[in-house]
Every structure is written in C-alpha cells, then in structure tokens.
Structure 1
Amino acid sequence: MKFSLESVYTWYRNLLRNPKYRWWVILGTLVYIVSPIDIAPDFIPIVGEIDDVLLLTLLVTEVSGLVIEGWKARKGYVETNTSTTPEDSSATGNTVDVDAVSVK
C-alpha cells in the first residue's frame, strides 16, 4: 500500500464530507489538537505545533467549504457557465429534455 500525504488528505476530506461521520471527525480533530499526545508532541518548540496548525487549517478549510456549499444550496444558487463570446452564441440553442426509462 502506497502512503502519501495526498491519500491521507483525500481520506480526511471524504470522511468530513460524509454526513454520518462528519461530527465525529470534527470532534476527534479538536481533541487531537488540544491533546498533548500526538504525532509530534507539543513540548517540542516548533515541530510540536506544526502538525496541530496543519490539521486545524485543514479542518477549518474543509468545514468552511461545506458551510458555503450548504448556504448556496439553501439559497438556490446555481452556478451557470454563460458565455458571451460570439463563437459560443452561434451554437444551436435547442435543448431536448428526455425522461429516463429503465430498459429490461
């Protein structure tokens, strides 16, 4: 199994985005930050705080992203990619709505 920081970040991010485990991950992260027992102990002058600061930054970034997404969804904000270039306006503007039907 290949270990990388990107895989740990992806795992943490996916776990935070799962509503079933979100509050447990937030609580566990806050306990880890406050706890003196961690990967790099806090009594080591600079290294001890680096892992706490990185984890706190990651937590704040992801939670604020979730809050913003939830706020946009509640307000009904839909991102539309409208183009005002003349090349795109020459494309056909016909839209066909199709209902999905299961095929057996």
Structure 2
Amino acid sequence: MKFPIEGLYNWYRSTIRNPKYRWWLIIGSLVYLFSPLDISPDFLPIIGWIDDGVILTLLVTEISQLLGERLKSADKNSADSPFNNTTTATATTSEPVDVKAVTVD
C-alpha cells in the first residue's frame, strides 16, 4: 500500500514535468507559499511551517532537476554540433589505425 504523500509527490513530479501544466503548478505553489490560508496555519510555530517547507522543497527540487536536464541536453546538442572544434573527423570514424611501435633504448 502506498502512502498518500508518495502519491502526492508522484502527481506533483509528473505534473511539473508536463509543459502544459508546469507554469500553473509553479504559480500555484508560490501562491500557496505566500497565502495565509494553508493546511496548517503559519501562525503556529514549526507546525505551520512544515507544509510550506514540503511544498518549497518539492518545487526547488523539481525545478533544479528540470534545469539540470535542460543544461545536459543543451550541452549534448552542442557537442554533437558539426562546428564543435573538440572533435575531429578521424575520431568519429570506426576505421582501425595502424601504428608502428618503436622501442626506445
């Protein structure tokens, strides 16, 4: 049996990764964080901040993962570019190279 919090986390993660609903969820999370209406009111010390901390943690974690994936894909696309100077034409071919080894005395 899955915990309800795990289901909420999976829903949040799948929704924020959907480009159609991403901005709605980000804006909704920020509104929830700054709204005085919460699951547990903020005027209660520590207990009132737990739900805000969970939402903020989820939001920051998912946005940082999305940005990391975007940077990796951008870096991969730039590495595959034909104008990249770090790769040479011989490095990309699969033909063997015959090298004559010479011993040094």
Provide the TM-score with structure 1 as the length reference. 0.70
Aligned residue type for 1:31: V
2:20 is aligned to 20
Counterpart-to-counterpart distance in 2, 1:47 and 1:30: 19
Counting only pairs closer than 5 Å after superposition, residues 59-98 of structure 1 correspond to structure 2 as 59-76=59-76
Counterpart-to-counterpart distance in 2, 1:58 and 1:49: 14
Q: Computing the radius of gyration over CA atoms, which structure comes out larger, 1 or 2? A: 2
Provide the TM-score with structure 2 as the length reference. 0.69
Aligned residue type for 2:62: E
Counterpart-to-counterpart distance in 1, 2:50 and 2:38: 11
1:46 is aligned to 46
2:58 is aligned to 58
Question: Number of aligned pairs?
Answer: 76
Counterpart-to-counterpart distance in 1, 2:74 and 2:3: 38
1:29 is aligned to 29
Counterpart-to-counterpart distance in 1, 2:3 and 2:37: 23
The offset of 1:3, in angstroms, is: 6.0
CA deviations on 1:60-88 (whole Å, 9 max, x unpaired) are 000000000001001117xxxxxxxxxxx
**Deviating 4+ runs (over 2 angstroms):** none
